Amino acid sequence: MSIEKTKMNYDKDRPSASNALKIMDVTFRDGHQSLFTTLGRTEDMIPVAEKMDEIGYWAIEAWGGNTFGAMHAYLNEDPWERIRKLKKYIKKTPLSMLLRGQNLVAYRNYADDVVEAFVDRAAENGIQIFRTFDALNDYRNFETAVKAIKKAGQHFQGCICYSMTEQRMGGDVYNVEYYVNKTKELVDAGADSICIKDMAGMIAPYDAFDLIKAVKEVANVPVAFHTHFTSGMASMSHLKAVEAGVDILDTCMSPYAYRNSHPAIEPLVMTLLGTDRDTGFDINDLAEINDILEKEILPKYKSLLKDDKVSIIDINVPLFQAPSGLFANIESQLEDMGELDRLGEVYAELAKVRRDLGEIPLVTPTSRIVAIQTVNNVLFDEGKDEYSIISAQVKDLCYGLYGETAAPINAKLIKKALKGYSKGNKPIDCRPAEDIKPELPQVREEVKGLAVDIEDELIYALFPVSGKRFLKWKYGKEEPPASVSPITLEEALKEQDLIEKARAGKLVDPESINRGPERSEHVRAFGVYVENEYFEIEVDEVGGPPVVTYASGPLNQVPADTIVPMAAQGSIPAPPKAVQSAPTQAAPVAQAAASAQPQSAAPAPAQTSSANGTPLNAPMPGMIVDYKAKVGDSVNKGDILVVLEAMKMENALPSPVSGTLQAINFASGDSVAKDAALCIIG
Ligand code: CO
């Protein structure tokens, strides 16, 4: 790289570089997806959209990935509307989306008719660059999407998902040769540019250099590089990629950068200033955008930032060759099941399950498939054969419905997974979608009278449960819950203020204290001593006269929230209940997104049936997809009775006994707790 001292002014009028680095900004998609579980709202992009359009980005990524799912399910926003709105402000810079190939923006391969319609509508609404990937790097899953992208006259960027099986790039599967071959395949498929997509932030800087150099040698189109800051190496990898001649890098505006997100743009602009790779961006303009984001937008999202760790990096990523989202999935699944203490066992089992499944790259949806199957193995295999509960997605993978894996799948596992599999017990070797019949005719039938156009139908086709619920909100057939409505900056600041006051033990705002029902005649007063301080608390039994049990344990066993002045205990208390239910809904939304399940509210209570017989209990919390038998049907032990979705994976649950189905306790779409009696066999 050469440097010219004369080119070092900060404004954009400086002479342009001979080989200026191009930048795609990903703040509006991967940035908030990585930091705020994709809960960024369109209204929070608009205040800076016009200014962003002036920077000179190669593209702005604003759609796809998880945005489609999160918007309709948790924000009550029409995903299609976001492109149209942004397009009004971003007129010069192309809008980009992340397309999961035949998976579109969801978790399985869809039929060709759905893929064609989806790409057509995305392009029609304003997407010009389709960054397309397949979790298995099986480019047969691109065929239909690429035809549709080309037909719409738009840019097809083909991705290679970066994966490793060793501590650094190399080994038998994911070595330089693998990536060079994949690049050639993409060039042959008509890629207008190529992207090395390191979704986990695993790549080491010198590997990035070698990889970009090798790919540049065989690619006759621009090469982009996408990595995450998660493990702390991304800024270094960016610089090495620039030195290796990368054409396009992905960055975020600094308030949306780092942690699980991407390196920020500003330090990169400064680093390359005056060199032959100078971006040409005006630092002052970037600073202005940052100021708006920092002061007017970010306070609304601060509560979603997982800031319970001091460190902003996660070194588990290169250690386990897995994205940090996978660890989050595993942790929340184990937590829901009350088995968090088995985390270590699950991590230890992870590499084996991945090997059994053909060393697949770990990216949505394969990261979830591996994560949840590993949890199932650790929790349910004890005393049984391995893979005692195989998710429907693992069965589909074994059958070949996701495509060809980089290494062969364990033959014993294929045999076990495909025993009784509905499509047959011999894996396919054709393009997966050839095995899927057109889906739109049935979709149309199912949402007749609710969906108004093809865009509505696509929302339902991709997300049948939450999509249908969204369409009811959209057309006023159902009232959306308060948790999906936006909060204002004022509300966000007020909430922050309350939390800070509570932490300091100064919560005096009378509005925020939950006064509860009137004291009854049975109220009893107790004195509580905390070291040298004395408090009087009153206890009133809810729903009846008091039954007082005298506790003999030490005082600190008194439930924390029955003692009001918490600061007296000398430690920083959690915000009191009154604050958690303060005016905004940020917290419940975050929880809903974290559990990543399309549920409307709290899980339905486990119902008990009066029918006599043996219950089929939910082995894990989840959502009922459907029941495979009706009341009165006779069933054999081992017959699949219920399909339960947990962490987006479907688990087929067999009948524990033979008999007659006596009662069905839930309906499709219901959320159930662990151990809920799903049905009764007698
Ligand atoms: Co990413």
User: What average pLDDT values come out for the chain (682 residues) when binned by 10 residues?
Assistant: 76 88 98 93 98 98 96 97 98 98 94 98 98 97 98 98 91 96 98 97 97 98 97 97 98 96 97 95 96 96 80 86 84 87 93 96 91 93 90 95 96 95 93 95 97 98 95 96 91 86 72 65 68 65 47 32 29 31 34 38 44 87 90 91 85 90 91 92 92
| Cα of 180 from ligand 1 centre, angstroms | 21
Give the tokens for residue 235.
């800024």
Residue 399, helix vs strand vs coil:
helix
Q: What is the CA(648)–ligand 1 centre distance, in A?
A: 19
As a whole number of angstroms, the distance between CA 252 and CA 168 comes to: 26
Instruction: Please report, for residues 71, 223, 251, 286, 287, the alpha-carbon distance to residue 33 in angstroms, rounded to integers and kept in the order given.
Output: 11, 23, 13, 21, 22
Measure CA of the first residue to CA of the last residue in the chain; give whole Å: 77
- Distance of alpha carbon 277 from alpha carbon 279, whole angstroms: 6
Looking up tokens 């621009």 gives 222
What's the gap in Å between 530 CA and the centre of ligand 1? 50
Report pLDDT for 31: 96
Query: CA 425, 431, 433 angle in degrees (round to 5)?
Result: 85
Query: What's the CA-to-centroid distance between 29 and ligand 1, angstroms?
Result: 9
532 alpha carbon – ligand 1 mean position (Å): 54
CB-based contact 133:98 (threshold 8 Å) = yes
- Cα–Cα distance, 429 to 424 (Å, whole number): 13
Residue 226 Cα to ligand 1 middle (Å): 7
Ligand 1 mean position, distance from CA 343 (Å): 25
Q: Which two tokens stand for residue 541?
A: 């039994």
CA of 317 to the centre of ligand 1 (A): 14
d(CA 127, CA 104): 14
Question: In the 8-state DSSP scheme, what is residue 576?
Answer: P
For position 8, what pLDDT does the model report? 75
Report the C-alpha gap between 234 and 622 in whole angstroms. Answer: 36
Compute the distance from residue 192 Cα to the ligand 1 centre, in Å: 20
Dist. CA 224 → ligand 1 center (Å): 13
Joined tokens for residue 533: 């301080």
Compute the distance between CA of residue 472 and CA of residue 475 in angstroms, rounded to an integer.
Answer: 5
The pocket of ion ligand 1, defined by CB under 5 A, consists of 30, 199
pLDDT of residue 541: 65
Tokens (6 digits) for 431: 């393009």
Please list the residues that pair with 674 across neighbouring strands.
none
Whole-number Å distance, alpha carbon 549 to ligand 1 midpoint, is: 54
What number does CATH give the domain 16-304? 3.20.20.70
CA of 62 to the centre of ligand 1 (A): 12
Distances (CA, A) of 218 to 62, 136, 382, 511, 563: 30, 21, 49, 66, 68
User: What's the angle, vertex CA 647, arms to CA 667 and CA 357, rounded to 5?
Assistant: 125
Alpha helices (runs of H) in 538-661, residue ranges in sequence order: 577-580, 586-595
- Report the separation in Å between the CA atom of 10 and the middle of ligand 1, taken as the mean of its atom positions: 29
For residue 197, how far is its CA from the centre of ligand 1 (angstroms)? 7
User: How far is 294 from 298, CA to CA, in rounded Å?
Assistant: 5
pLDDT given for residue 515 in this prediction: 63
517: Cβ contacts below 8 Å, ≥ 6 apart: none
Residue with tokens 């339905």: 604
Which residues, in sequence order, are bridge partners of residue 624?
644
Residue 189 CA, ligand 1 centroid: distance in Å: 23
Residue 647: other Cβ atoms inside 10 A: 22
424: which residues sit within 8 A by CB, 6+ positions away? Answer: 399, 418
Distance CA 30, CA 14 (A): 30
Distance 92 CA to ligand 1 centre (A): 24
Q: What pLDDT is attached to residue 510?
A: 57
524: exposed, middle or buried (Cβ count in 10 Å: 0-12, 13-18, 19+)? exposed
Q: Provide the pLDDT for residue 508.
A: 60
User: What is the widest separation between alpha-carbon atoms in the chain?
Assistant: 87
Q: What rounded mean pLDDT belongs to the chain?
A: 86
Q: How far away, in angstroms, is 194 Cα from ligand 1 center?
A: 15
Residue 3 CB: number of other CB atoms within 10 A? Answer: 13
Q: How far is the CA of 238 from the centre of ligand 1 (A)?
A: 14
CA distance 187 to 140: 14
- CATH class label, 614-681: mainly beta
DSSP-based three-state secondary structure for 22: strand
| Residue keyed to tokens 């759905």 | 114
Find the 34 Cα to ligand 1 centroid distance in Å: 8
How far, in Å, from the CA of 227 to the mean position of ligand 1?
Answer: 7
Compute, in angstroms, the gap from residue 293 CA to the centroid of ligand 1: 21
φ/ψ of 679, rounded to 5, equals -160, 170
Q: Does domain 322-435 have CATH number 3.90.550.10?
A: no
**Two tokens at 367?**
């990261």
DSSP assignment of 208-268 equals HHHHHHHHHHH-SS-EEEEE-STTS-HHHHHHHHHHTT-SEEEEB-GGG-STTS--BHHHH
Residue 228 Cα, ligand 1 centroid: separation in angstroms? Answer: 6
Give the pLDDT score at 100. 96
Find the 104 Cα to ligand 1 centroid distance in Å.
Answer: 15
Distance from CA of residue 12 to its chain's centroid? 36
**Ligand 1 midpoint to CA 610 (Å):** 50
Q: pTM of this prediction? A: 0.80
- How many Å lie between the centroid of ligand 1 and the Cα of residue 198? 7
CA 188 to ligand 1 center in whole angstroms:
25
Angle, alpha carbons 277-280-282 (nearest 5°): 140
- What is the Å distance from ligand 1's center to 622 Cα? 27
- Going from the Cα of 667 to the center of ligand 1, the distance in angstroms, rounded, reads 36
**Ligand 1 centroid to 442 CA: how many Å?**
33
Backbone angles phi, psi at 206, to 5 degrees: -70, -30
Cα 8 to middle of ligand 1, angstroms: 32
* Phi/psi of residue 4, nearest 5 degrees: -115, 115
Radius of gyration of the chain (CA): 27
SS (H, E, C) 489-539: HHHHHHHHHHHHHHHCCCCCCHHHCCCCCCCCCCCEEEEEEECCEEEEEEE
C-alpha 276: how far from chain center: 38
Residue 31 CA to ligand 1 center (angstroms) comes to 8
Task: Output the pLDDT for position 377.
Answer: 95
Ligand 1 center from residue 229 Cα (angstroms) = 10
How far does residue 467's CA lie from ligand 1's centre (Å)? 24
What pLDDT is recorded for position 542?
A: 63
State the distance from the centre of ligand 1 to the C-alpha of 250, rounded, in angstroms.
9
The two structure tokens encoding residue 576: 């009191």
Could you tell me the distance, in angstroms and rounded to a whole number, from the CA of residue 204 to the centre of ligand 1? 16
Domain residue extents for the chain: 16-304, 322-435, 440-481, 505-592, 614-681
Q: What angle do CA 121, 122, 123 make, to 5 degrees?
A: 90
Three-state DSSP at 326 gives: helix
Rounded Cα distance, 215 and 244, in Å:
10
